[in-house]
Amino acid sequence: MSPEYLSHLVSVYGYIVIFPFAIIEGPILTVIGGFLVSLGLLNPVLIYIVVLAGDVVGDSVCYAIGRWGRPLTHSYGRYIGLTPERLASAQTFFHENHQKAVIASKLIHGIGWTGLVAAGSLHVPYWRFVRTCLFISAAQSFALLIIGILFGHAYLLIGQYLSYFAAVVSVVALTAGLLYGLYRLKKGGVK
């Protein structure tokens, strides 16, 4: 999803259009949102709230799949990376320490789905689960939003510097061309 397309959707439908994308892929959307904040197209507080809410809803969906869809995860989980081996490994880790497991699931990209589904299938108390997810998502979303804003500012500065560089190169090229032309005229004419 390009920043231009996201900006168009937001201008037409408002921030509510961002919410479903935040459920599916919050981190990437957060960086793009930060970039658009730096361009003045989005409000940083609103995009943060929407992305945070979408992330927690996405985590809750994974939890619900594990909690009430255990037969489904065993039958069809392999299509989304939930192999029996991954689930067993996540379950072992969850039995030893619920909170560390949720934190690891949120921060380590490769085990995210599996760990969140495993939390549901192990019946980790939902409020403990969602509290941990909210805490991690709040910090992660804030950091990613700042990264997006910084990238946006860097993009603007790079564009500005490239404009200055292009202007300097143009002046140097014109001056060199003019000096070469004068040199050729003085030397005996242009052939």
- Euclidean distance between CA atoms 136 and 102, whole angstroms: 9
Mean pLDDT over all residues of the chain? 82
- Euclidean distance between CA atoms 141 and 135, whole angstroms: 10
- Mean pLDDT, to the nearest integer, of 119-147? 90
Domain ranges of the chain: 3-164
- Euclidean distance between CA atoms 91 and 106, whole angstroms: 15
- Euclidean distance between CA atoms 81 and 9, whole angstroms: 31
Q: Give the pLDDT confidence of 36-79 residue by residue, as tens digits.
A: 888 888 899 999 999 999 999 999 998 998 888 877 777 777 77
93 in Cβ contact with 84 (< 8 Å): no
- H/E run at residue 72: helix 70-76
pLDDT band at 189 (very low <50, low <70, confident <90, very high): low
Q: Give the pLDDT confidence of 115-132 residue by residue, as tens digits.
A: 788 788 888 889 989 999
